Chains A and B, each alone.
Chain A
Amino acid sequence: MIRNVTIPSLQQTEMLLQQRRTRLFLLLPFFGTGYILSVVFHLLTWKSGTPPSTWVRLFYYDGLMLITYGALWLLLWGETHQRGTSPTRTFWGLTVASLLFLGLGYLVLRIGRPSGDLALSAPVTGFAYETGVPLTWAAVVQMNVLALLEALLAFWLLLQLRGLVLFKRTRQSERSWRWMLITMAGSALLVDLFQPDEFVLALLLSLPVGLMLRNAFRVAWILYLPFRQKLLNLGLTVLATGALSGTLAFTSGPAYEYVWHYSPALSSFVNLSLAFGILYLVTSFLSLLFHLPTTGAFQRKVDELAALHALMQMVSQVFDVERLTDTIVRLPVETGVAQTAWLALPDFQTTFRPRIVAAYNLPAGQTPEALVDVEALYQEVATRRQFLLLEQALTDHRVRARPEHGIGSLLVVPLVARNELLGVLFVTREVAYGFEQDEVEAITVFATQAALALDNARLLHERLEKERLARELAIARDVQRRLLPQQLPRLPGLQIVASSVPAQEVGGDYYDLLRLDDHRLAFIVADVAGKGTSAAFYMAELQGIFRALSPLNPDPVVFLTQANRALFETLARKAFISAVYGVFDVAKGTVTLARAGHPPPILLRPHAPPRLLRLQGLGLGLDRGELFRQTLEPCTLSLQAGDRLLLYTDGLIESRNDRGEAFGYDRLLQTLEAHAQDTAASLHRHLLETLAQFTGHPAYDDDLTLVIFQWQEVPMLQETRDHQDVQTQTAGASTSTTQPSQPSQQAP
């Protein structure tokens, strides 16, 4: 615990030092005190005239140096750490700093000397040959000032170059930079301690020099410079190299003795730093030179890819399939990756062959099919599920283009999303071998993005289509529901039970009842061939005809003939309607009806077997009119008390059980015989129950409509009217999709 608190980790120290105030507070005292102490040390040496003992030099002086210049390094590190580096500024700064240093160094060397040659040997410059003890006060001042200046320059140089070396830094590059600094400092210290001979020195320096070389080749920043910047930096590296070389000549020449006697370690470190600076500048110069010719191409490529990537984002934001396909073929061309592009999608509706849905920048007057065998290439890519690159497109047998069409190379890329092939993108270039590896990759990635977008758009489209269809069906269902009678009319002596259940959301069955006057009731039960929205419209038409025509022409033959004529004109060729139409006359106790292609009505008399009324008659809308009228066979029945008339649609006959057997006429007639004495309501209920038992499931295969009339003889009209209020039952909604049947009933 305590250790954790007292010794902060490296990161904590770094964080601490990043605050300027803390940094100055902590480091300035160290540096200031150390520097003053070193000056005092040299003054004392000068005054005493004897060199310090080895122990004092090693443990007192060298320790002091380490702390002083370590603090200086950290101070400068903090100042340069966070600034972004531009190579131009770095090189320019190095040049200026070197020149400034040279100027100052020259002035310092002149201290205490009127004029003359600066490159005098050590004894002349003011140090004892054997001991290195400064002989004059000027020498003391010079060595201290020069050492500080050199240290400042070297540190600043390293910190500046650090920004360039660690451009696009990785853990690896950071580590190698750190090791270079450590080995530089380490070898400088060893030189100080052991004063080795040349062979050992060379050995000692091989490690830092190796690392220096390694770091000198980290010049990645060059790639991203525009051409003019490269040119400018080329000049600046020459300038800076010159300035640094001059500095190195100065530090290892006239100034060498001063700093060496100040601290051999510092002197070695400074010279190593300067050497690294020159090395780095030289590699930068050469790299800049070699990169100059490729700058344009590189820049273009970077721009292209950047544009392609940026536009990919756009693709994912387009939801309209048509606009999306247009965008997909336009992007590769507009970003300059391709010359021409077209997109083939499979046609699942009709031909099952690839169809060109979009093309961009085709040669004038050409179609993709004229240029290449789209289908063959599509099939190959479809099976391979990988791109196909024809480097020399014109030599491929599937390419029909001629040289003047400018199709040198052809890249065919599959658009795959969710493991399904959605289409194939074709892109071309004018020249053979026109697609580079990275462009092929970019287009492949683009194709994946495009496929995803296409898939999304398609899903969205499907959902919208489904919703639209559902809305349409809901409307049709609503129309159909309104077309069926909401309330059954009442006539004395006549009991009516009716129900209609559509099998699907919208069915084709229709029935209606209309009271014509106080003793007549017109009725119709019909079945429109087909279902869905169109059936609902035909039903609407039939209802209009029934409601409008039957009051004017209640006679079945006249009504059905006119209805047929009207419907023949408007029904689709393959559509027709089967119907039974008739009129009850309660005054006369008769019913007149006719059958137009509909399943025959059934007459059920109390003490007789049920009778199918197989009247002749064509379906409505099958024939123009003549044949229809000729064949129509009306029938008038005199009703007896208890007579029941059943009208139904083919759903009743054709409903099937799980074995595929239809309910059929035989079962229908049997059921009717079994319930021969039932009232209309009970008969209705029993029939539907029997049917449900037979099919074994509540839902019907087809629409099912069942209307039953029951005739009860009434001696006098007056009498029934008196009873009417007592026994009235109002018809409810006569259709329902949730319940299998919902009979409507009316009793006199």
Chain B
Amino acid sequence: MSNFSVGFRQHNGVQILDLHGELDAHTAPELEAALQKCLQNGQYNILINGRDLDYISSAGLGVFMAYVEEIREKGGDLKIAELKPGVYNVFDLLGFPLLFDILPSEAEALERFARGERPMLPSS
């Protein structure tokens, strides 16, 4: 029934998660489990690739919020790349581009990882 899946890749010490399908309240636990696994393996540089992500609901967005703080505390970052316009719009509405590095291409995201850049957060 689930039409959501997560693929794992590695590139230069960055853990890349490829999201496929629709991320909503029902499928959010799968992404949570994937992120949990990354943290357990000590990987804190995580790139979410949304090339094949067709839909995201607010519950899906909640997953990113739930983990980003811990990841940044550990010195890593959670970046998002290659979102489809419709999905990006949902991120954008809530102001996620202010909280996360959301980049058009994976290469740019990896570059930012390499340079160690993170979004400026006045509150943190």
Contact = CB atoms under 8 A, between A and B. Distances in A.
Interface of A: 508, 527, 529-531, 572-576, 578, 597-600, 616-619, 622-628, 630-631, 650, 654, 662, 702
14 contacts: A529-B61, A574-B63, A597-B93, A600-B93, A618-B94, A619-B94, A619-B95, A622-B95, A623-B121, A623-B123, A626-B122, A627-B122, A628-B123, A650-B90
A617 B96 CA distance: 10
A619 B90 CA distance: 11
A605 to B, nearest CB: 23
A557 to B, nearest CB: 15
Contact of A531 (B25, B86, B122): B25
Main secondary structure of the interface of A (DSSP, over half): loop
A623 B96 CA distance: 10
B94 A578 contact: yes
B93 A578 contact: yes
B123 A626 contact: yes
B25 A618 contact: no
Interface of B: 25, 55, 57-59, 61-63, 65-66, 69, 86, 90, 93-96, 98-99, 121-124
Nearest to B70: A573
A690 B22 CA distance: 25
Contacts of A628: 123
Nearest to B99: A622
Nearest to B69: A573
Nearest to B95: A618
Nearest to A656: B55
A621 to B, nearest CB: 8
A631 B93 CA distance: 13
Contact of B98 (A618, A654, A702): A618
B18 to A, nearest CB: 21
A626 B55 CA distance: 30
Residue of B55, B86, B94 with most chain A CB atoms under a 10 A cut-off: B94
Q: Which 4 A-B pairs have the closest CB atoms?
A: A574-B66, A618-B95, A574-B62, A529-B58
Contacts of A531: 25
A598 B90 CA distance: 9
Given A508-B58, A626-B122, A627-B121, 11 more contacts: A527-B58, A529-B62, A573-B69, A575-B65, A578-B94, A598-B93, A599-B93, A617-B95, A622-B96, A623-B123, A630-B122
A531 B66 CA distance: 16
Contact of B59 (A530, A617, A662): A530
A631 B98 contact: yes
B90 to A, nearest CB: 8
Given A623-B123, A630-B122, A650-B58, A574 B98 contact: no
A628 B96 CA distance: 11
A318 to B, nearest CB: 34
B62 A627 contact: no
A597 B94 contact: yes
A261 B95 CA distance: 128
A529 B59 contact: yes
A623 B65 CA distance: 10
A597 B61 CA distance: 12
A597 B59 contact: no
A704 to B, nearest CB: 14
Contacts of B99: 618, 622-623, 627
A619 B94 CA distance: 5
A573 B66 contact: yes
B49 to A, nearest CB: 21
B124 A578 contact: no
B59 A624 contact: no
A573 B73 CA distance: 14
Contact of B65 (A576, A599, A626, A630): A576
A112 B102 CA distance: 136
A578 B58 contact: yes
Nearest to B119: A627
A625 B90 CA distance: 21
B98 A627 contact: yes
Nearest to B28: A574
B55 to A, nearest CB: 8
A628 B86 CA distance: 24
Contacts of A662: 55, 86
B3 to A, nearest CB: 10
A574 B62 CA distance: 4
A45 to B, nearest CB: 107
Given A530-B25, A618-B95, A576 B62 contact: yes
Nearest to B54: A660
Given A530-B62, A574-B62, A631 B124 contact: no
Contacts of B69: 573
B124 to A, nearest CB: 7
Nearest to A504: B25
Contacts of A624: 123-124
A502 to B, nearest CB: 14
A575 B94 contact: no
